[in-house]
Amino acid sequence: MADLAGRLSIASKAIKYSFLLGVLGVVVDFIFVYLFSNIILVTDLTHWVIDSLLELTFIVALYFATRISRRYPFGFVVLELTLSLIIAITVTGFYMLNLYLYLSQIFNSPSYTVDVNIFSSVATVVGTVLTLASYRVLNTTFNKYKINILKYESKHALLDSLAGIVATTGIILSSVTKSPAIEILFTIVLVVFIFHSMGGIIEDYLRLVYGDTLDYRVAMNVIELLENTLTDKYVKVKRVEARRLSYFYVINIDLYVDPDTTIREAHRLRMEIIRRIIDLYDNVYHVDVRFYPKRIRKIEKKLEKVFDDKIYTKRRK
Ligand SMILES: [Zn+2]
């Protein structure tokens, strides 16, 4: 699967670049929050921190996936996902406390005045430019190499440039109108972007914790692919199982083959199947193909014949 490792490392490079732009965004936002603290900027910073954390998790997972000679360190991925979940919840919790203090200040003191410095929009304009640059890299790499795992990342970057525009508009309008209502409105819109990122982390984590990793849609697509490409009439699909482990899939395929198949033929068939599946999904980490002699199938056939009438009459009822 050298081809897969190559594509994953290209994806990894693009995401690393996007991550560095994200870190730059965090630094710029942090400096401006320090200089001109306002709730819109703090919300924007929280979003940047969580997204950078998400990308870091992805980079680590890709790093392990490209080392195909070794086993995927599932335990490590769980640990890493747990850590990023804890950090993300802490960051969001800290932000929510800030939001609560801000709101209670508005509602409890009638003399509250909006204090937004228009220069703080420099941070959000720089942030928007950085997100667009990140989108460009991810999207260009996706189009050039057709690496599907970059599609989601590039869509997220495009969505985040919208968040940058919202934050910039919010800061400018709040500083001009001095209206708390406008400040609250734009803050809440930005909170939605934080929830969007948090949703991704939590969904991944719950799936791992509950062991809800079977993906029937992917399994069905693989079965369809096999049925369309297996030309040998003696080769039949016995079972396909697709499991999602954080960002990647592990696919197990059981096939019935002619008992006289040589090891060379079986090997060729296995490589062909792996190649086709990787063409379909580039986030497949491992494909396992097991062969069963078709003789077993013949015995089953005989048994089926015995029970066929019973099943048939049952169905008729
Ligand atoms: Zn985001």
pTM confidence score: 0.74
* Span from the CA of 179 to the centroid of ligand 1 (angstroms): 26
* Span from the CA of 23 to the centroid of ligand 1 (angstroms): 13
* Span from the CA of 14 to the centroid of ligand 1 (angstroms): 17
pLDDT in tens, 88-131: 899 999 999 999 999 998 888 877 788 888 899 999 999 999 99
* Span from the CA of 209 to the centroid of ligand 1 (angstroms): 24
In order of 38, 100, 178, the CA distances from 184 in angstroms are 11, 12, 11
Strands of 248-257's sheet in order across: 236-245, 248-257, 284-293
Spatial CA neighbour of 44 closest among 187, 144, 155, 142: 187
52 alpha carbon, distance to own chain's centre: 13
* Span from the CA of 156 to the centroid of ligand 1 (angstroms): 6
Sign of CA dihedral 71, 75, 80, 85: positive
* Span from the CA of 194 to the centroid of ligand 1 (angstroms): 7
Q: What is the pLDDT of residue 317?
A: 46
Could you give the CA distance from residue 102 to residue 170 in angstroms, rounded to a whole number? 16
* Span from the CA of 163 to the centroid of ligand 1 (angstroms): 8
* Span from the CA of 161 to the centroid of ligand 1 (angstroms): 9
Q: What is the pLDDT of residue 100?
A: 93
pLDDT in tens, 192-238: 999 998 887 888 788 777 766 778 888 888 998 888 888 776 788 88
As a whole number, the mean pLDDT across the chain is 84
pLDDT surpasses 80 at 15: yes
* Span from the CA of 235 to the centroid of ligand 1 (angstroms): 46
Q: Which residues pair with 256 in a beta bridge?
A: 236, 292
* Cβ–Cβ < 8 Å for 204, 197: no
* Domain 216-316 CATH class label: alpha beta
pLDDT surpasses 50 at 250: yes
* Span from the CA of 239 to the centroid of ligand 1 (angstroms): 38
Domain range annotation of the chain? 2-209, 216-316
Q: What is the pLDDT of residue 1?
A: 42
* Span from the CA of 189 to the centroid of ligand 1 (angstroms): 12
pLDDT mean over 242-248: 74
* Span from the CA of 79 to the centroid of ligand 1 (angstroms): 23
* Span from the CA of 143 to the centroid of ligand 1 (angstroms): 21
Alpha helices by DSSP H, listed for the chain, are: 2-35, 39-66, 74-108, 121-145, 149-177, 180-209, 216-229, 263-280, 294-316
* Cβ–Cβ < 8 Å for 59, 9: no
* Span from the CA of 85 to the centroid of ligand 1 (angstroms): 15
224 CB-near residues (< 8 Å, 6+ apart): none
Sign of CA dihedral 191, 194, 200, 204: negative
Maximal CA-CA distance, the chain:
88
* Span from the CA of 196 to the centroid of ligand 1 (angstroms): 7
Structure tokens at 270: 């296995």
Rg (C-alpha) for the chain, rounded Å, is: 26
* Cβ–Cβ < 8 Å for 225, 276: yes
Count other C-beta atoms under 10 Å from residue 67's C-beta: 12
Could you give the CA distance from residue 145 to residue 142 in angstroms, rounded to a whole number? 6
* Span from the CA of 208 to the centroid of ligand 1 (angstroms): 22
pLDDT surpasses 70 at 55: yes
Sign of CA dihedral 172, 175, 177, 180: positive
pLDDT in tens, 2-13: 466 677 788 888
* Span from the CA of 197 to the centroid of ligand 1 (angstroms): 5
The larger pLDDT score, comparing residue 243 to residue 148, is at 243
Count other C-beta atoms under 10 Å from residue 102's C-beta: 19
- H/E element, 285: strand 284-293
